[in-house]
Structure 1
């Protein structure tokens, strides 16, 4: 595999991991978003990936969590209904944090692959210049 091919594949991975990190950041930031029971809950975003036939990965689209969320009894909350319930998103923080670690590690690995491919290409140019 050429250095350019390695860079192309690593670039698709960098982009995909960045989108994943952005989606996770939004989910984590809104995990405690409270809405009244007559509104939809915050909908967590999940990235759907599609492997390329020639290497690399694309973001195929996004999936969202259930708008029903979960009902929580919180009678003192200003958005509580007559029965004392509010709506929270259905976000599993432990799953989000696990995915965050995976996305960070994948991004870091893609950066390292990019750096190695650039170093290889630079070394080849230096050999050719002699």
Structure 2
């Protein structure tokens, strides 16, 4: 149950990251350095010690995507730089939707694992009576 719980927590972080990315997908700025960069969670396995099997997963950090910002020539835009360019976030909506779907399916799988573990635990308790 702990492994499934850690997976659910990790997928929740992943879903929140996707939500943040989608909310900022259309943002623009006057330079590539100022623009919102897509966030990506980094997951790591949890081990009790060096010899043990993985006991779960954690989101150890959230990093910025290295994909470049999109430069758009728009000299009349109020945020345009001296060369007439504005910069659009590097969030790829299609990738975000795919990531959201994957995270949702993983979360649902973890829920099913928890349900099965609970049923096995209840059957074990009944068998001991």
Q: Tell me the CA shift for residue 34 of structure 1.
A: 1.4
**Large movers: runs of 4+ above 6 Å:** none
Partner of 1:4: none
Structure-2 separation of matches of 1:83 and 1:64: 26
2:15 to 9, 21, 32: 21
Structure-2 separation of matches of 1:76 and 1:114: 56
Structure-2 separation of matches of 1:59 and 1:93: 22
Secondary structure of residue in 2 paired with 1:41? coil
Q: Tell me the CA shift for residue 76 of structure 1.
A: 4.3
Q: Calculate the TM-score normalised by the size of structure 1.
A: 0.82
Whether the aligned pair in 2 keeps the contact of 1:40 and 1:69 (CA below 8 Å) is: no
2:39 to 42, 45, 50: 45
Q: Calculate the TM-score normalised by the size of structure 2.
A: 0.82
Structure-2 separation of matches of 1:95 and 1:39: 22
Structure-1 separation of matches of 2:33 and 2:45: 36
Q: Could you list the runs of 5+ residues in structure 2 that have no partner in the other structure?
A: 48-52
**Once the two structures are superposed, what CA deviation does each residue of 1:84-105 show, in whole Å capped at 9, x if it has no partner?**
3211111222111111111111
Structure 2 vs 1, CA of residues 38 and 121 (structure 1 numbering), >3 Å: closer, same or farther?
closer
More strand by share: 2
1:84 paired to 2:78:
no
Q: Could you list the runs of 5+ residues in structure 1 that have no partner in the other structure?
A: 1-6
Number of residue-to-residue matches in the alignment: 123
More helix by share: 1
1:8 to 2, 6, 14: 2
